[in-house]
């Protein structure tokens, strides 16, 4: 049943669903029945594409930027839905012919296929080809190190990998550690290029082919298989909703990645929830840059396909994303807080933080628009947009109507500022790989920030007591661990029965590890984290991820690691500052800092103290207790990276590794704290 949107009552509590130790069961108040699909005809991932195809046969589907001989990027070129469908069927047929006839694979469906590339049209074509022919993909992150690649390839038992040309050598180097690897399919041509090299030299293609042959790996490319499939077309598989669509590896901060088993039913229901909650138009243009090996990026593209809209892929370099946006002029974008913080910093510096008349005018305009937004009158204003903000919104191409942000919390003030400055709808969402990304999100017309809106209509949410942290469903507003149930919840962890039982209970509830509450408007709010909890020396429980999320809402923070242990009574932090934000912050403090380089600023004790003061100002405003505030901070000039083994593939800090890497810095901070006079301690 589709009810009218009521921003003051966004969730519906299922009658008689409350039990001892848990809250009632909450559902989306607009659509109270759990959704399986957005159309009776759509039951699989390929059906999602066909739904868009039926709307937009000869309209653009996927686009990429051209590159001239000098390496300069040109305009976007497009392939229509009709053309993409032919490529899906041709390539899928070619892959099946390769598996069954060349590699003597007896199975005709349910075969894992690796997929390793940055976002590009061929990624989507490969993914949909696998879906159409009953195969399932296993995404390899483009930035995975060799150890993780080796683990995922072997653990998933994949024998065939589809990859961009730059990863062919990576796989061949690892062949001795990948005993099951039989075939590599390059998304880029690897045909004979002898005609383009110096006479007497050997072509790159010839070297790769010889190397692959030596390793007993069949090496071919997409174009070859498409041509083969066109001549020897196969019938699409009779795929069922419960068939596996994707094995997506996700890792916590310790141990090996876990293979999350996601079915076609999971994906279709998640797309359905997004379809109704977020909406869309056939005329939309989405920019795809969030990694398609991550669930957020993949669902974003699937939703675009469901509406028959177009997807423009970024050129592969985050440093030139702004140029891609200016060229594409998208209407829809999925983003993460770190990117939005950077956008905020650039816009704020030229508007509200600008000197003189410009800054004064911008501050008045922002204040008027924020008041307008708080009064439920939306993010546009006839006077101030004409005077100022129609120019500001050109920062994202000028056509942006919807931005969905997720993966981490975003600061309230930053979100509200961007809503009015960019004159567009910005919604914060919440999900996990295990819930196929779509758990909860702001609904249309949302005028506040600092919450996660209502559950998507394909799942329901419940809060379970966490008595050791004093979070109870009997509190005035129920509090507890967020649990999710619905057709979007994963089937389990591949080959990990014990971990699956820990994550999904007997009633089908996925236990997220996040602590949440439901506010007076029926909106979900994350207030803490159950996992990675430790005690300080005085016995106080600490959830470092919660504190990191609070601090990360400040634009100064690019990356942060908060540390403490049971032998110490306080916390310390290692922080990688956003360079431009740090310069702007310090410029307002004293002109003397302008003479110092970024590296010198990070080493300056006075700068560290100023940054620490700002962090704890943010922390106090967010309601952190005194014992949850960092007492010292080390400013790290260089980014946390996977190469340093400090980040997981999903860019979360690896806590044990970070503790070891910064062992000396952590010890020095505690020496500094413990040698302070007692009266200076919090």
Show which of 529, 557, 580 is a domain's final residue. 529
Q: What's the rounded mean pLDDT across residues 14-39?
A: 95
Structure tokens at 126: 């490969």
For residues 468 and 540, state if they share a domain. Answer: no
The answer to whether 475 and 467 are in contact (CB under 8 A) is: no
Query: For residue 591, what are the β-bridge partners?
Result: none
For residues 361 and 507, state if they share a domain. Answer: yes
H-helix segments, 375-422: 382-384, 390-392, 412-421
Q: Which helix (H) or strand (E) holds 96?
A: helix 81-97
Segment among 128-142, 321-335, 545-559 with least mean pLDDT:
545-559
In this predicted structure, the answer to whether residue 167 has a pLDDT above a threshold of 90 is yes
* Residue at 317 is within a domain: no
For residues 246 and 356, state if they share a domain. Answer: no
Q: What pLDDT, on the 0 to 100 scale, is given for residue 203?
A: 66
In this predicted structure, the answer to whether residue 200 has a pLDDT above a threshold of 70 is no
CATH code of the domain containing 224: 3.40.50.12780
For residues 613 and 575, state if they share a domain. Answer: yes
For residues 135 and 149, state if they share a domain. Answer: yes
SS3 425: strand
Q: What's the rounded mean pLDDT across residues 496-524?
A: 95
CATH code of the domain containing 602: 3.30.300.30
For residues 508 and 591, state if they share a domain. Answer: no
The answer to whether 58 and 82 are in contact (CB under 8 A) is: yes
For residues 513 and 573, state if they share a domain. Answer: no
- Residue 157's nearest CA partner among 143, 136, 172 is 136
SS3 360: helix
For residues 107 and 237, state if they share a domain. Answer: yes
Give tens-digit pLDDT for 52-65: 999 999 999 999 99
For residues 461 and 554, state if they share a domain. Answer: no
For residues 478 and 601, state if they share a domain. Answer: no
Structure tokens at 333: 């974008």
Give 232's DSSP letter. Answer: S
* Residue at 299 is within a domain: no
Give the confidence band of 198 by pLDDT, cuts at 50, 70, 90: very low
* Residue at 2 is within a domain: no
Give tens-digit pLDDT for 373-424: 999 999 999 999 999 999 999 999 999 999 999 988 888 899 999 999 999 9
Three-class SS string for 460-526?
Answer: EEEEECEHHHCECCCCCCCEEEEEEECCCCCCCECCCHHHHHHHECCCCCEEEEEEEEECCCCCEEE
Average pLDDT taken over every residue of the chain: 91
Residue 567: which domain range? 535-680
Give 3's DSSP letter. Answer: P
For residues 355 and 452, state if they share a domain. Answer: yes
* Residue at 292 is within a domain: no
* Residue at 159 is within a domain: yes
* Residue at 329 is within a domain: no
Give the confidence band of 70 by pLDDT, cuts at 50, 70, 90: confident
Q: What pLDDT, on the 0 to 100 scale, is given for residue 478?
A: 94
Compute the distance between CA of residue 351 and CA of residue 392 in angstroms, rounded to an integer.
Answer: 9
Give tens-digit pLDDT for 219-256: 999 999 999 999 999 999 999 999 999 999 986 555 67
* Residue at 379 is within a domain: yes
In degrees and rounded to multiples of 5, residue 574 shows phi and psi of -110, 125
* Residue at 220 is within a domain: yes
| pTM as predicted | 0.84
Query: For residue 430, what are the β-bridge partners?
Result: 440
- Residue 153's nearest CA partner among 169, 165, 171 is 171
Show which of 529, 553, 573 is a domain's final residue. 529
For residues 492 and 557, state if they share a domain. Answer: no
CATH code of the domain containing 363: 2.30.38.10
Q: Give the list of residues 6+ apart from residue 323 with CB closer than 8 angstroms, or none.
A: 73, 315
In this predicted structure, the answer to whether residue 273 has a pLDDT above a threshold of 90 is yes
The answer to whether 149 and 326 are in contact (CB under 8 A) is: no
Q: What's the rounded mean pLDDT across residues 539-562?
A: 88
Show which of 482, 498, 529 is a domain's final residue. 529
Number of domain units in the chain: 3
The answer to whether 424 and 393 are in contact (CB under 8 A) is: yes
Q: What's the rounded mean pLDDT across residues 445-461?
A: 95
Q: Give the list of residues 6+ apart from residue 325 with CB closer than 8 angstroms, or none.
A: 287, 333, 396, 397
Compute the distance between CA of residue 170 and CA of residue 153 in angstroms, rounded to an integer.
Answer: 13
């Amino acid at each position: 049943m589709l009810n009218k949107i009521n921003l003051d009552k966004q969730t519906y509590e299922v009658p008689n669903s409350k039990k001892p130790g848990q809250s009632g069961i909450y559902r989306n108040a607009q659509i109270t029945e759990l959704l399986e699909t957005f159309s009776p005809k759509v039951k699989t991932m390929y059906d999602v594409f066909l739904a868009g195809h039926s709307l937009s046969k000869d309209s653009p589907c996927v686009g990429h930027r051209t590159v001239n001989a000098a390496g300069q990027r040109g305009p976007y070129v497009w392939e229509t839905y009709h053309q993409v469908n032919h490529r899906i069927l041709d390539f899928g047929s070619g892959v099946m012919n390769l598996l069954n006839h060349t590699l003597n694979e007896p199975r005709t469906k349910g075969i894992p296929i690796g997929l390793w590339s940055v976002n590009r049209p061929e990624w989507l074509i490969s993914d949909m080809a696998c879906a159409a022919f009953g195969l399932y993909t296993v995404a390899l992150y483009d930035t995975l190190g060799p150890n993780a690649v080796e683990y995922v390839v072997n653990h998933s038992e994949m024998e065939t990998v589809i990859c961009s040309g730059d990863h062919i050598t990576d796989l061949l180097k690892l062949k001795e550690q990948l005993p099951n690897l039989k075939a590599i399919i390059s998304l880029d041509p690897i045909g004979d290029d002898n005609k383009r090299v110096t006479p007497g030299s050997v072509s790159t293609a010839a070297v790769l082919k010889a190397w692959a042959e030596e390793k007993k790996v069949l090496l071919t490319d997409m174009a070859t298989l498409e041509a083969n499939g066109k001549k020897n077309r196969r019938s699409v598989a009779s795929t069922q909703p419960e068939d596996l669509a994707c094995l997506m590896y996700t890792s916590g901060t310790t141990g090996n990645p876990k293979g999350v088993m996601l079915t076609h039913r999971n994906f279709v229901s998640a797309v359905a929830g997004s379809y109704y909650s977020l909406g869309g138009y056939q005329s939309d243009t989405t920019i795809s840059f969030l990694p398609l090996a991550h669930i957020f990026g993949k669902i974003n593209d699937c939703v675009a396909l469901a509406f028959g809209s177009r997807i423009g892929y970024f050129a592969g370099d985050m440093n030139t994303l702004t140029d891609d946006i200016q060229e594409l002029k998208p209407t829809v974008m999925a983003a993460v807080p770190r990117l939005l913080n950077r956008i905020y910093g650039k816009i704020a510096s030229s508007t509200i933080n600008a000197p003189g008349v410009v800054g004064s005018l911008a501050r008045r305009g922002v204040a008027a628009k924020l008041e307008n937004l708080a009064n439920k009158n939306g993010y546009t204003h006839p006077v101030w947009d004409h005077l100022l903000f129609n120019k500001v919104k050109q920062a994202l191409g000028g056509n942006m109507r919807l931005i969905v942000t997720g993966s981490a919390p975003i600061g309230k003030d930053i979100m509200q500022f961007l809503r009015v400055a960019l004159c567009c709808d910005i919604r914060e969402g919440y999900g996990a790989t295990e819930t196929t990304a779509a758990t909860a999100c702001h609904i249309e017309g949302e005028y506040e920030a600092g919450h996660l809106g209502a559950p998507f209509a394909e799942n329901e949410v419940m809060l379970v007591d966490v008595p050791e942290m004093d979070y109870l469903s009997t509190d005035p507003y129920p509090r507890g661990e967020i649990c999710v149930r619905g057709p979007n919840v994963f089937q389990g962890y591949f080959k990990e029965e014990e971990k699956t039982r820990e994550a999904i209970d007997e009633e089908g509830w996925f236990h997220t590890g996040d602590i949440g509450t439901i506010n007076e408007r029926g909106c979900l709010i994350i207030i803490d984290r159950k996992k990675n909890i430790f005690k300080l020396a005085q016995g106080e429980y600490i959830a470092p991820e919660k504190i990191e999320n609070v601090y990360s809402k400040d634009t100064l923070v690019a990356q942060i690691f908060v540390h403490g242990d049971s032998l110490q009574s306080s916390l310390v932090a290692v922080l990688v500052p956003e360079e431009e934000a740090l310069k702007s912050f310090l410029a307002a403090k004293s002109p003397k800092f302008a003479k110092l380089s970024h590296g010198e600023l990070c080493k300056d004790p006075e700068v560290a103290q100023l940054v620490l003061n700002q962090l704890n100002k943010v922390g106090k405003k967010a309601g952190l207790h005194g014992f949850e505030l960092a007492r010292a901070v080390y400013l790290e000039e260089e980014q946390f990276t996977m190469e340093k083994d400090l980040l997981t593939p999903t860019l979360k800090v690896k806590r044990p590794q970070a503790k070891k890497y910064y062992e000396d810095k952590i010890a020095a901070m505690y020496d500094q704290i413990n040698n302070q006079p007692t009266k200076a301690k919090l």
